[in-house]
Amino acid sequence: MPTCFAGSNESSHTAKWGNTFRRRFRRRLRKSAGLKILYIGDTVATAGRAMVRMQLRELQREHAIDFTILNCENAAPGNGVTPSMADEFFDLGVDVLTSGNHIWNKKEILPYLNKQSRILRPANYPPGNPGRGLVVAKTRDGEPVAVLNLQGRVFMPTIDDPFRVADTELATISAEVKVIFVDMHAEATSEKVAMGWYLDGRVSAVIGSHTHIPTADETILPNGTAYQTDAGMTGPYFSVIGVMKEDAINRFLTQMPTRFEPASQDVRLNAVVIDVDGETGKARSILRVQKK
């Protein structure tokens, strides 16, 4: 009996190590195969949310996506996002939600920002504001992915310096986390381009949001950071950046306060797919995607 007992212990020990080895081997294989990130630009109101509902699963399958990020700051009509909308995005398969200056618009989101770590507001808002601007989440295979949300200051609220805040936030990320995605929410293209160069080689991707128009400048910077000035809006393009064109034109003509109604026609989903080397965190490719 004792021999038999010792023998079964040994075989379970061997089996355990075999499983660990196989898990590590599979993980290494996956890492070298790369990690695919899908980033969906500013998702605007009812039409944008419906488009995400319709297209997300297929897009994830088509591009073998490991991790999905979506900017949600305009998801609610009249800007902002509500907790139930954020929950729906998570249920649909979004891993992390980023945002920007409109994140504060719906008051009910404020306590949610403190409760749910996978929804971000720009990290460079004053210390003490609800929520956070950085999270390390995991893919379904357990690979860590850091997501950092920053906001520019040119033609925008004069919050803290996004460059120095980027330094501070990146310093808190463990060296084991190789894949780092940055959503740079800003009005001025110059500020977004500068951020791309500033973080080149330190993060896997810097992708811009806020201006709602997809730019054709996607590239891999010399030190391995994927860059695009703006991923574009997921919402109605028969509009002025998502709102009824008549309302926007009236504002320009009269310079008087105008109530903006969300538009609903010519809805398109704009996104980028970034392939990242899981061992080094360097981007290998970036692809612009548009669905109608």
Helix %, strand %, coil % for the chain, to 5? Answer: 35, 25, 40
* Terminal Cα-to-Cα distance of the chain (whole angstroms): 70
Of 100 and 224, the one with the shorter C-beta distance to Fe ion is 100
Of 35 and 44, the one with the shorter C-beta distance to Fe ion is 44
Of 209 and 225, the one with the shorter C-beta distance to Fe ion is 209
Enumerate binding residues for Fe ion (CB under 5 A): 100-101, 210
Strands 226-228 and 205-209 come out as parallel
The number of beta carbons lying within 10 Å of the beta carbon of residue 146 is: 23
Of 196 and 208, the one with the shorter C-beta distance to Fe ion is 208
The residue number whose beta carbon is nearest to Fe ion equals 100
What b/e readout covers 70-84, taking b as 16+ CB neighbours within 10 angstroms?
Answer: bbbbbbbeebbbbbe
The number of beta carbons lying within 10 Å of the beta carbon of residue 69 is: 28
Which strands form 134-138's sheet, in the order they lie side by side? 134-138, 144-151, 179-185, 205-209, 226-228, 219-220
Catalytic residue of the set 13, 63, 102, 185: 102
What b/e readout covers 2-13, taking b as 16+ CB neighbours within 10 angstroms?
Answer: eeeeeeeeeeee
Least distance from Fe ion to the Cβ atom of residue 176, Å: 32
Least distance from Fe ion to the Cβ atom of residue 71, Å: 8
185 in catalytic set: no
Tokens coding 192: 């977004």
What positions carry a catalytic annotation? 102
